[in-house]
Amino acid sequence: MSPATHIDLYQLTSLIPHWDAGLADTPVTMSFFSRRLPQDEAGEPQRGFLLWVGLRRSLEFLAGARFDEPRLALLTQHPMLGQALLRRPKLLDRLRAWRFQGRLDAPPEGTPIWAGPAVTSQGALLDVNGVRPAAQTPYMQIQTDLLTAKLIETPLLSIINHQTMVASKAARVVRAAGRRAVLEFGTRRTHMEAAVDAAYAAYVAGVAGTSNVEAHYRYGVPVLGTMDHFAVQAWEQPHLSRGETERAYFRAFYESFPASSVLLVDTYDAFGDDTGIRNAVRATGGAVSGIRLDSGITQENVWRARRLLNDLKAPNCKILVSGGMDEHAITALGDAPVDGFGIGERIVTSPDAPVGVGAVGKLCEIGGQPTMKLARGSGKATLPGRVQVFRRGGVDTVARHGEILAGDPLLEVWWLGDEAINMPEVEETRAYTRYALAALPDEIWSDRSVCVPVSPALEQLVRDIVARDPQGR
């Protein structure tokens, strides 16, 4: 079971008038999307594309979402909502029996997508009497009833914003690393459940593995790790020098894992005469598999470590670096002889685009009729109706549902009725993502703003809806 109470309170309070008006069963379509690619506070672009991850997690949530009795009882005690629910016992019964039903269309997990102002098929900005809609490949497009749409909006946005943010960052880090392995080490920098989702998203995006054991259990993500400063310090003895105790711990660790001993060498001094790299080699007789540097990561220090290892007759010892790394730091290292990277907070928190990916959920059909948020002059106008997106030559064109355009259609059916009809498999998704990212032109990896074309039929629908409501809303 997944508690259905992973929602904002206003989803329930605003449901009451809809219930009273008999609108709860109205068929609606909700689209989940980003209006534009992430920007910094100055409005400068921070991404050239977004990597869509969150489908599997969303399907898992929808399959198990429930209101249990303790949570319903708590809601009936709420000072604002409680009496409204108690006066509507049929609504309480409806929540008690609620299960997700509907249809969910989405691009395959691991699809690169982009978003920005809508342009016509001729490339002109779509501006209809001050209404300038954004266009994009939706993350998901869900057909269901109005009550259900309100209950799923918040948790699905939580999943989309987090996992797509992490995957989009991780893909950039992996690309910067080239053939060198990237390990996701960010569990301590986020909530423990978010850490599992982050490990999955980063793995889909191409990292070699994670330090998170639970992600290994749930999704089969390879779990990898070295050692921590705690372990080295805990070996200290009052009658011995720190160099002696560090060397003793390194020896004990090596004897436990002789084929895969990567030793953390900067608890005291990575380049000391009786600490760090020298102790790693001494303790293992030169057989240490690798060392990890967790501070002072510069070209100079990495080369210094490589030269010292070679001088100590450990030329096969690999160098793993961690601590404040991301794609920018990797690039700054140039040709320094790093064999792998441990990336923590800068993947799981994506500090250069730290507010998710701006995903929102908006109604695009009500009662089978296309609708749109006009939002004249604000740049927040949405596209009306169900859509399909066709990708051709690195360009996505958004079309009305049912249209057939040149290119590959991106949206597929993943849920129908009361169950998922497909579930992304981790390794298949990862392989698809690798292929999809490799197919991207180089310029798409640059930070940039984009515009997205819409089909003539979708453009005409926008014009028709604006013409029926010339004042906007």
Q: Provide the mean pLDDT of the chain.
A: 95
Q: Please give the average per-residue pLDDT across 47-60, as a whole number.
A: 97
Whether the per-residue pLDDT at 41 is higher than 90: the answer is no
Tens of pLDDT along 103-133?
999 999 999 999 999 999 999 999 999 999 9
pTM listed for this prediction: 0.95
Structural domain contains residue 63 = yes
Distances from the Cα of 370 to the Cαs of 189, 218, 222, 260, 400, in angstroms?
42, 40, 45, 59, 10
Please report, as a single letter, which amino acid is at residue 110: G
What confidence score (pLDDT) does residue 204 get?
A: 98
Whether the per-residue pLDDT at 341 is higher than 90: the answer is yes
The whole-angstrom separation of Cα 146 and Cα 368 is 12
Structural domain contains residue 294 = no
Whether the per-residue pLDDT at 473 is higher than 50: the answer is no
The whole-angstrom separation of Cα 178 and Cα 419 is 40
* Strand intervals (E) in 146-180: none
Residues 6+ apart with CB under 8 A from 10: none
pLDDT confidence bin for 376, thresholds 50/70/90: confident
Q: Which strand (E) or helix (H) includes residue 359?
A: strand 359-366
Distances from the Cα of 216 to the Cαs of 53, 211, 462, in angstroms?
18, 9, 46
Structural domain contains residue 136 = yes
Q: Please give the average per-residue pLDDT across 315-337, as a whole number.
A: 96
The whole-angstrom separation of Cα 459 and Cα 473 is 19
Q: Please, what is the angle between helix 146-177 and helix 192-205, to 10°?
A: 60
The whole-angstrom separation of Cα 356 and Cα 335 is 32
What total of structural domains would you count in the chain?
A: 1
Q: Please, what is the angle between helix 146-177 and helix 55-64, to 10°?
A: 150
Q: Please give the average per-residue pLDDT across 23-27, as a whole number.
A: 98
User: Which structural domain range is residue 429 located in?
Assistant: 2-167+353-468
257 alpha-carbon distance from chain centroid: 34
What confidence score (pLDDT) does residue 471 get?
A: 62
Residue 29 C-beta-side C-alpha neighbours within 13 Å: 22
The whole-angstrom separation of Cα 90 and Cα 84 is 12
- The pLDDT > 90 percentage for the chain reads 93
What confidence score (pLDDT) does residue 356 get?
A: 82
Lookup: tokens for 201? 């998203």
The whole-angstrom separation of Cα 260 and Cα 224 is 11
Contact 134, 29 (CB under 8 A): no
Structural domain contains residue 438 = yes
What confidence score (pLDDT) does residue 14 get?
A: 97
Structural domain contains residue 449 = yes
Torsion from C-alpha of 120, 123, 129, 135, nearest 10 degrees:
60
Phi then psi for residue 457, to 5 deg, are -65, -40
Structural domain contains residue 123 = yes
Structural domain contains residue 181 = no
pLDDT confidence bin for 472, thresholds 50/70/90: very low
What confidence score (pLDDT) does residue 470 get?
A: 62
Contact 86, 144 (CB under 8 A): no
Tens of pLDDT along 257-313?
999 999 999 999 999 999 999 999 999 999 999 999 999 999 999 999 999 999 999
Tens of pLDDT along 204-218?
999 999 999 999 999
Residue 106 burial (CB count, 10 A): 25
Give SS3 for 336: coil
Lookup: tokens for 212? 């998170």
Tens of pLDDT along 163-184?
999 999 999 999 999 999 999 9
Please report, as a single letter, which amino acid is at residue 55: L
Phi then psi for residue 264, to 5 deg, are -85, 115
Beta bridge partners, 3, equal: 66
384 alpha-carbon distance from chain centroid: 26
Burial state string for 242-270 with b = 16 or more CB within 10 A and e = fewer than 16: bbbbbbbbbbebbeeeeeebbbbbbbbbb
Dihedral sign for Cα atoms in the order 13, 19, 25, 28: negative
Q: Please give the average per-residue pLDDT across 321-338, as a whole number.
A: 96
Strands 262-264 and 290-293: parallel
- CATH code of the domain containing 10: 3.20.140.10
Q: In what order do the strands lie in the sheet with 318-322?
A: 209-210, 181-184, 340-343, 318-322, 290-293, 262-264
What confidence score (pLDDT) does residue 42 get?
A: 84
Structural domain contains residue 369 = yes
Contact 134, 396 (CB under 8 A): no
